[in-house]
Structure 1
Amino acid sequence: MDSHEAKRLPPPPPVVPPNLVPELEPTKKTTLLPMARRGFGSNGERIHLLTNHFRVNFNNAKGHFFQYSVTITNENGSPMEAKGIYRKILEKVQETYRGHLRSKYFAYDGDKTLFTTGALPKNTMEFEVVLENTPSSRNNTGSSSRNETNDADRKRLRRPNRSKKFKVEINYAAKIPMQALANAIQGMKTDNLQDATRVLDVILRQNSARKGCLLVRQSFFHNDPPNILPIGEGVFVARGFHTSFKTTQRGLSLNIDTSATMIVKPGPVVDFLLANQNVKDPKDLDWNKAKRALKNLRVKVIPSNREYKITGLSEERCKDQVFIHNLKNEKGEVYGVETTVYKYFTEFRHVELKYSGDCPCINVGHKPARPTYIPIEHCELVSLQRYTKSLSSSQKACLAETSRQRPPQRMASLTTALEKSNYSADPVLQETGVSIGSNFIQVGGRVLPAPRLRVGNGVEIQPRKGPTVAMWVVVNFSAQCDTNRLVSELIRSGKMKGIEVEDPYKVVFKEEPRFRDAPANIRVEKMFEQMKSELKEKKPLFILCILAEKKNSPVYGPWKRKNLIEHGIVTQCIVPPKDLKDQYITNVLLKINAKLGGLNSMLAMERSQAMRVTQVPTFIAGMDVSHGSPGTDVPSIAAVVGSRKWPLISKYRACVRTQSPKREMIDNLFNRVTNENGEVVDEGIFRELLEDFYFSSGKREPENIIIFRDGVSDSQFNQVLNIELDQMKKACKFVRDNWNPRFTVIIAQKNQHTKFFQANSNDNVPPGTIVDRRICHPHNNDFYLCAHAGMIGTTRPTHYHVLYDEIRFSADHLQELVHSLSYVYQRSTTAMSVVAPICYAHSAAAQMRTAMKFEDMSFSETASIHDGITRSGEPPVPSMPKLNSAVASSMFFC
Structure 2
Amino acid sequence: MPPRVTSSAGRGRGAPHRGGPPGGATSIRGGAGVSGASGLQGNHVVTVGVKRPSFGTSGQPIAVAANFFEVSLPQGNIHHYDVITPSEKTLPARLNMDLVEHLQTVHAPEVFTPRAVYDGRKNMFAPRELPLGQEGSREFSVSLTGGTTHGSSSEAPTGRGPKVYKIRLTKVNTINPEVLERFIAGQQSHDNTVLTALTALNVVIRMEPVMKYPFNVRSFFTDRETKDIGAGLVLWRGYFQSIRPAISKLLVNVDISTGTMYKPGALLNLCLEYLNHGKHPSQMIQPQHINMREGLGERDRIKLQRFISGIRIQTTYAGEHGRKTPRVLKKLSSAGASDLTFALRDGNQLTVANYFRQLLNRPLKFPGGLCAEVGQGALIPLELCTVPPGQIMRKQVPPEKTKDVLEFATKRPADRLASISNGLSVLSYGQSDYVRQFGMVVEDTAGPIKLNARVLRPPNLKYGTNSRQPTITPREGAWNMVDKRFHRPSVIDKWAVVIYERQTRFNEQAARDMVRDLVKSCQDVGIQVHDQNPIIQWQNAQGHVADQLRRVGQLCRQQKGKPPQLIVVILPDGGNDIYTAVKHFGDITVGVATQCMKSSRCYRAKPQYFANICLKMNVKLGGINTISDPQSGITTLSDPRSPTIVMGADVIHPPPGSDGRPSFTALVGSVDSDSAKYVATSRVQASRVELIEDLQDMAKHILVKYMQYRQVVEKKTTGIAPTRLYFYRDGVSEGQFQQVLDSELKALKEACRELKIQPKITIIIVAKRHHTRFFPTNPKDADRSGNCPAGTVVDQDIVHPAEWDWYLLSHGGLLGTSRPAHYNVLYDENNSTPDGLQTLSFALCHLYARSTRSVSIPAPVYYADIVCSRAKNHYDPQGSLDFSDTVTQTDSNQAQGMLETYKQNFRPLHPNMERLMYFS
Q: TM-score, normalised by structure 1?
A: 0.84
Cα deviation, residue 205, structure 1? 2.6
Residue identity in the other structure for 1:317? G
Aligned residues: 799
Partner of 1:58: 73
Q: Quick one: distance in 1 between partners of 2:409 and 2:342?
A: 48
Contact kept in structure 1, 2:580 and 2:873, CA below 8 Å: yes
Residue identity in the other structure for 2:205? L
Partner of 2:50: 35
Partner of 1:19: none
Partner of 1:545: 569
Among 654, 660, 670, the alignment partner of 1:643 is 670
**Which secondary structure does the structure 2 equivalent of 1:69 belong to?**
strand
Pair 548,387 (structure 1): closer, same or farther in 2 beyond 3 Å: farther
Q: Quick one: distance in 1 between partners of 2:897 and 2:587?
A: 25
Q: Quick one: distance in 1 between partners of 2:511 and 2:532?
A: 11
Partner of 2:285: 281
Among 411, 419, 425, the alignment partner of 2:425 is 419
**Which secondary structure does the structure 1 equivalent of 2:843 belong to?**
helix
Among 412, 418, 430, the alignment partner of 2:436 is 430
Contact kept in structure 2, 1:269 and 1:379, CA below 8 Å: yes
**Which secondary structure does the structure 1 equivalent of 2:695 belong to?**
coil
Q: Please show how residues 313-462 of structure 1 align to structure 2 within 5 Å.
A: 313-324=332-343, 326=344, 335-351=346-362, 353-354=364-365, 356-366=366-376, 371-438=377-444, 439-455=447-463, 456-458=467-469, 459-460=482-483, 462=485
1:814 aligns to 2:834 (yes or no): no
Q: Quick one: distance in 2 between partners of 1:851 and 1:475?
A: 21
Contact kept in structure 2, 1:471 and 1:505, CA below 8 Å: no
Cα deviation, residue 750, structure 1? 1.1
Cα deviations by residue, 1:230-254 (Å, 9 ceiling, x for unpaired): 3343333332111111111141111
Cα deviation, residue 749, structure 1? 0.7
Contact kept in structure 1, 2:699 and 2:748, CA below 8 Å: no
Cα deviations by residue, 1:162-212 (Å, 9 ceiling, x for unpaired): 54433322111222222123334555425522111100111223222211x
Among 121, 128, 136, the alignment partner of 1:118 is 128
Cα deviation, residue 849, structure 1? 2.7
Q: Quick one: distance in 2 between partners of 1:598 and 1:891?
A: 9
Residue identity in the other structure for 2:547? E
Cα deviations by residue, 1:61-92 (Å, 9 ceiling, x for unpaired): xx322221222357xxx667555322222122
Cα deviation, residue 452, structure 1? 1.0
Q: Identical aligned pairs, as a percentage?
A: 28
Q: What are the ranges of 5 or more consecutive residues in structure 1 without an aligned counterpart?
A: 1-28, 141-159, 327-333, 672-681, 869-875
Q: Quick one: distance in 1 between partners of 2:484 and 2:384?
A: 61
Cα deviation, residue 694, structure 1? 4.8
Pair 101,51 (structure 1): closer, same or farther in 2 beyond 3 Å: same
Pair 609,523 (structure 1): closer, same or farther in 2 beyond 3 Å: closer
Instruction: Name the stretch that deviates more: 807-816 or 275-284.
Output: 275-284
Contact kept in structure 2, 1:36 and 1:780, CA below 8 Å: yes
Residue identity in the other structure for 2:352? V
Q: What are the ranges of 5 or more consecutive residues in structure 2 without an aligned counterpart?
A: 1-23, 28-47, 148-152, 290-294, 319-323, 470-481, 876-880
Residue identity in the other structure for 2:221? F
Cα deviation, residue 751, structure 1? 1.2
1:170 aligns to 2:169 (yes or no): yes
Pair 83,401 (structure 1): closer, same or farther in 2 beyond 3 Å: closer
Cα deviation, residue 803, structure 1? 1.7
1:586 aligns to 2:587 (yes or no): no
Q: Quick one: distance in 1 between partners of 2:882 and 2:862?
A: 21
Q: Quick one: distance in 2 between partners of 1:382 and 1:688?
A: 58
Cα deviation, residue 401, structure 1? 1.4
Cα deviations by residue, 1:672-703 (Å, 9 ceiling, x for unpaired): xxxxxxxxxx9954554554455355251111
Among 593, 605, 610, the alignment partner of 2:630 is 605
Q: Quick one: distance in 1 between partners of 2:898 and 2:85?
A: 43
Residue identity in the other structure for 2:442? I
Contact kept in structure 2, 1:67 and 1:113, CA below 8 Å: yes
Cα deviation, residue 303, structure 1? 3.5
Contact kept in structure 2, 1:710 and 1:748, CA below 8 Å: yes
Contact kept in structure 2, 1:184 and 1:252, CA below 8 Å: no
Cα deviation, residue 136, structure 1? 6.1
Q: Please show how residues 692-771 of structure 1 align to structure 2 within 5 Å.
A: 692=708, 694-695=710-711, 696-697=713-714, 698=716, 700-736=720-756, 739-759=757-777, 761=779, 763-771=786-794
Q: Quick one: distance in 1 between partners of 2:214 and 2:357?
A: 37
Q: Quick one: distance in 2 between partners of 1:414 and 1:683?
A: 43
Cα deviations by residue, 1:717-770 (Å, 9 ceiling, x for unpaired): 11222211111111111212xx42211111111111111111253711011111
Q: Quick one: distance in 2 between partners of 1:867 and 1:139?
A: 40
Q: Quick one: distance in 2 between partners of 1:207 and 1:351?
A: 45
Contact kept in structure 2, 1:484 and 1:507, CA below 8 Å: no
1:525 aligns to 2:547 (yes or no): yes
Cα deviation, residue 38, structure 1? 1.1
Q: Quick one: distance in 1 between partners of 2:106 and 2:604?
A: 70
Contact kept in structure 1, 2:626 and 2:847, CA below 8 Å: yes
Pair 880,380 (structure 1): closer, same or farther in 2 beyond 3 Å: same
Pair 353,303 (structure 1): closer, same or farther in 2 beyond 3 Å: same
Cα deviation, residue 534, structure 1? 6.7
Residue identity in the other structure for 1:189? Q
Residue identity in the other structure for 1:300? Q
Q: Quick one: distance in 2 between partners of 1:867 and 1:362?
A: 33
Cα deviation, residue 529, structure 1? 4.1
Residue identity in the other structure for 2:101? E
Contact kept in structure 1, 2:645 and 2:724, CA below 8 Å: yes
Contact kept in structure 2, 1:187 and 1:251, CA below 8 Å: no
Among 326, 337, 348, the alignment partner of 1:307 is 326
Residue identity in the other structure for 1:67? H
Cα deviation, residue 409, structure 1? 0.7
Partner of 1:217: 217
**Which secondary structure does the structure 2 equivalent of 1:311 belong to?**
strand
Contact kept in structure 2, 1:625 and 1:637, CA below 8 Å: yes
Q: Quick one: distance in 1 between partners of 2:235 and 2:531?
A: 47
Q: Quick one: distance in 1 between partners of 2:624 and 2:302?
A: 47
Q: Quick one: distance in 2 between partners of 1:626 and 1:701?
A: 30
Cα deviation, residue 618, structure 1? 0.5
Q: TM-score, normalised by structure 2?
A: 0.81
Residue identity in the other structure for 1:233? A
**Which secondary structure does the structure 2 equivalent of 1:357 belong to?**
coil
Contact kept in structure 2, 1:268 and 1:380, CA below 8 Å: yes
Partner of 1:94: 104
1:620 aligns to 2:646 (yes or no): yes
Pair 427,373 (structure 1): closer, same or farther in 2 beyond 3 Å: same
Partner of 1:510: 538
Cα deviations by residue, 1:89-140 (Å, 9 ceiling, x for unpaired): 2122212355642623211111222111232123012223342146465669
Answer 1 or 2: which has greater strand percent: 1
CA RMSD, Structure 1 to Structure 2 (Å):
2.9
Residue identity in the other structure for 1:600? N
Partner of 1:127: 140
1:85 aligns to 2:85 (yes or no): no
